[in-house]
Structure 1
């Protein structure tokens, strides 16, 4: 019997910031003195962001806002693009505070009968503001900033279990990332549900316990 639900936030409850990233990548390519496509900018930026993300842990932990600005500045420097990193990163931060929510997520959170905890890699204040913006009433908001570790590390899942007062086998974690959410939860002994909104092909190495395309499908499992 499921006693609590852990939900990822971006890509699960609300839309990702992909469109904002795409706009900045396009503007960077337009202003770059080193000729490039916006896709090349996007790939370089994402790779640098991901590297810093994985290195951010414990005493070396950086908030996601810090990683975003540093990785964007390094991207602008690499392509020699005349763009203000702080100004354009702020567009992303503004979106994090007021993201677009999935309609099925609103319905699910209104009707679900078990306690829900949101576990997110986003910064604490951004998650609090986004939850308040959408009037989300959940049992707890737990971020990587709280535990100084990003998913798929297990610290955030263990903190979720502590706050929920549950054993791993009593919880389901739901997220859109096979690496961060599915593998991360499973490493903590928690059953994982992959929300595959875009109906992507599942890699052979991935093995979520369940797969759904909408959060409302979870009512079949709890």
Structure 2
């Protein structure tokens, strides 16, 4: 029987994770608000808010990952007192998701 489909862990397996763009965004947030928090602390807060949104997003409360990303960024910006625009930052994430670079060994795959 021919294989009709297969499932694989895409990010971190076939393409690079989003660590570089997340680091860039966290540094932008830090510079925009003068917080004493490190970029890692900003990223941890952001991930916590994103996870909360994901855990609440089902059934009638379902929202897309992109919407959840924007909501978590808005919460993060508000928490750290940044005036940056969450939609513009989310667009950076979305661009990465759409154009994540392949790992060299995935090209053969």
- TM-score computed with the length of structure 1 as normaliser: 0.45
Aligned equivalent of 1:12: 13
Question: Are 1:102 and 2:103 an aligned pair?
Answer: yes
> Which structure shows the higher strand fraction?
1
Aligned equivalent of 2:41: 40
Moved >4 Å (runs of 4+): none
> How far does residue 40 in structure 1 lie from its aligned partner after superposition?
0.9
Q: Find the aligned partners of 2:97 and 2:4 in 1 and give their Cα distance.
A: 29
> Structure 2 stretches of 5 or more lacking a match?
none
Aligned equivalent of 2:76: 75
Question: Are 1:31 and 2:18 an aligned pair?
Answer: no
Q: Find the aligned partners of 2:99 and 2:19 in 1 and give their Cα distance.
A: 14
Contact 1:15 1:101 in 2 (8 A): yes
| CA-based RMSD | 1.8
Aligned equivalent of 2:52: 51
Matches within 5 A, 1:1-222: 5-108=6-109
> How far does residue 35 in structure 1 lie from its aligned partner after superposition?
2.7
Aligned length: 107
Q: Find the aligned partners of 1:33 and 1:82 in 2 and give their Cα distance.
A: 11
Q: Find the aligned partners of 2:106 and 2:52 in 1 and give their Cα distance.
A: 30
Q: Show CA shifts across 1:3-46 (max 9, x none).
A: 86310211121111111011010111111254321111010001
Q: Find the aligned partners of 2:50 and 2:13 in 1 and give their Cα distance.
A: 21
> Structure 1 stretches of 5 or more lacking a match?
109-222
Q: Which has the higher contact order (CA 8 A, sep 6+)?
A: 2
Q: Show CA shifts across 1:78-112 (max 9, x none).
A: 0001211111111111111111011222212xxxx
> Which structure shows the higher helix fraction?
2
> How far does residue 58 in structure 1 lie from its aligned partner after superposition?
2.3
